[in-house]
Amino acid sequence: MIKSSEFRKKLIKIMPGYKWTVHRPMYRINTDEKVLMLTATGIQVAGKNRTSTLEVSVSYRDGEYIYNSKSSGFGKNAPWLSKQEGPTLAQSLRNLQEDYEITGNNNLRHAADLQGARAHRKTSS
């Protein structure tokens, strides 16, 4: 299993814009087998305000690492916006970013559709 110090180095290398805390390793029982899992939380702040929270976990199961990433927006207690996984740390984070890009593009398209469908008012001279 990956060591906490190695996990932290990977996180800092790939996401240096976050302040990282690696939590104590824990075991999760998953269908009669123990799975060792490491979790880290990264935060970005502006002044005293938390602007972004990113949580990454890695577990080792059946000879393979599985990385899970999730993030939330403004505030300490903001809800998680999305969750993605991947076979590598980079792939997990890339999947999360792509999910946000797709969601953002869909929202922009819907906003443009609503704007285009609004009745146009004529200005009087």
Task: Give CA–CA dist 10/6, Å, rounded.
Answer: 6
Domain-located, residue 123: no
**pTM across the whole model:** 0.82
Per-residue pLDDT tens digits for 20-65:
999 998 876 666 666 779 999 999 999 989 999 999 999 987 788 9
Domain span at residue 14 reads: 4-115
Asked if residues 80 and 72 have their Cβ atoms less than 8 Å apart, the reply is yes
Domain-located, residue 94: yes
Task: Give CA–CA dist 46/75, Å, rounded.
Answer: 11
* Adjacent-strand bridge partners of 72: 53, 80
Domain-located, residue 121: no
Residue 117 or 26, more confident: 117
Give percent above pLDDT 70 in the chain.
Answer: 90
